[in-house]
Structure 1
Amino acid sequence: MYYDVTRELSEEILIFPGGDPKPEISTEDHGAYLLSLLSLSTHTGTHIDAPSHYLKDKRTVDKIDPGRLIGRCRLLDLGTATAIQASDLQGRIEGAERLLLKTWFSGRTAFDPAYPHLTTDAAALLVQEGVRCIGIDSPSIEAYDGDGTVHRTLLERGIAVIELLDLPAMPEGEYYMAALPLRLKGLDGSPARVILSDRPFV
């Protein structure tokens, strides 16, 4: 069975204030066909951060190894945790190359500056454990008032970061994931379609 854990992208989607513009979508009727026009940030909706998002280097979204984004993954339910610490993850992530975090924010449609996020020690633990991809259902992997340390800790090691997943219906467990950004040349991130399955894709 396949599970689409991508937020539906529309003009009403939750956006990160002060950074992302509200998406604009219009459709033109050309008689024999329709043509829709999109104006949105590379970090609108469910999206993937490239290292260049915070490091301003040449590791752009089109250069992320798909092997980081496709394969077995583990989904953890963090319950009511907001500042997710290493102690919340210890003993639960060993052997997981791809990790998705379900939090109390799942399904929320309004921005809340107190959204769940990783602390610096949790990010360091992910590096230590060899995680290659980390995803979360909140607007950012880092606190609203963060200084970029969490992002840099992950992105410097090439860990793929997925934000604003749609996980309210997903129970904790082991899955197979395919999370593919658009191949946007030279850009710092991209909206993505993220699919989970309870069996291998091939």
Structure 2
Amino acid sequence: MQVDLSHRIETGMTVYPGDPSVCVEPHAAYDQDSYRVSAVQLGSHTGTHIDAPSHVLADGRTLDAYSLERFTFDAVRIDCTGSSDREPITVEDVPDDEADIALFWTDWSTLWGTERYLDHPYLTPDAAAVCAERGYAVGIDALSPDPTPTQNSEETDPSGLQAHHTLLGADNLIIENLRNLGKLPDRFELRAYPLALGGDGAPVRAVGIVDR
């Protein structure tokens, strides 16, 4: 069984505040040109995507520094679907299993395209540190493992992308804006190959695979 875990890239889709907007429009039309080509404008962290250390670290590795094998993961899914708006995911939620990546399933992907999507659950700095210590890459079906600044931000929210710095500083990759995690069991294989941009991040076609 294979499950598509990626959001479709389309005009006007949700992006992190301040990131480039997304536009997909016809460049050549079949009726006029006898073929079709689309013009696509987007940022490197559009939709379902993977972060490289160079995203937040001055001398961090870029995606082209990793072998393709690094983008196939033995995944463990953590059920955080009871989380509410801007609720922290804590150390107690972090598994202690043999796995390559911890996927925090908040079900926030059902809010994709809404303003509320930006007020997602997030990892506390301590939870991110434990993930790094246990060697986990991190994935989440939300905009970021860090809280996203909105009008609902609170003074107690962690600032400065602490989860990003902790995880990427330990060379543990981050995958954001996953979806359909509820269609998979708690253990499965995740494949998330980035576009060959070679830089700070790139959209991925993330797929969950379960052997039956």
Shared fold (TM-score, shorter chain, > 0.5): yes
**Match for residue 176 of structure 1 among 175, 178, 189:** 189
Tell me which stretches of 4 or more aligned residues in structure 1 moved more than 6 Å: none
Match runs of 1:44-63 below 5 Å: 44-63=46-65
Cα separation, partners in 2 of 1:118 and 1:66, compared to 1, 3 Å: farther
Among 87, 90, 109, the residue aligned to 2:92: 87
Structure 1 counterpart of 2:108, which letter?
F
Partner in structure 2 of residue 40 of structure 1: 42
Given that 1:76 and 1:172 are in contact with CA atoms closer than 8 Å, whether structure 2 keeps it comes out as: no
Aligned to 2:145: 141
Find the residue that maps to 2:14 and give its secondary structure: coil
Structure 2 gaps of 5+ residues are 150-158
Alpha-carbon distance between aligned partners in 1 of 2:39 and 2:105, rounded to the nearest angstrom: 32
In structure 2, the CA distance between the partners of 1:179 and 1:80, relative to structure 1 (3 Å rule), is same
Closer, same or farther in 2 for the Cα pair 1:157/1:78, shift >3 Å?
same
Q: Is the 8 A contact 1:49 1:190 kept in 2?
A: yes
TM-score (norm 2): 0.85
Distance 1:96 1:41, change over 3 A: same
Say whether the 8 Å CA contact 2:12–2:23 is kept in structure 1: no
The one-letter amino acid paired with 2:12 is E
Distance 1:169 1:148, change over 3 A: closer
Equivalent residue for 1:189, pick from 164, 177, 201: 201
What TM-score, normalized to structure 1?
0.89
Identity of aligned residues (%): 31
CA distance in 1, matches of 2:102, 2:128: 12
SS of 2:110 mapped into structure 1: coil
Residue ranges of structure 1 left out of the alignment (5+ in a row): none
CA-atom RMSD, angstroms?
1.8
Q: How many equivalent residue pairs?
A: 195
Q: Choose which of 143, 158, 169 in structure 2 pairs with 1:156.
A: 169
Task: Select which of 114, 120, 123 maps to 2:128.
Answer: 123
Shift of the 80–154 alpha-carbon distance from structure 1 to 2, 3 Å rule, reads: same
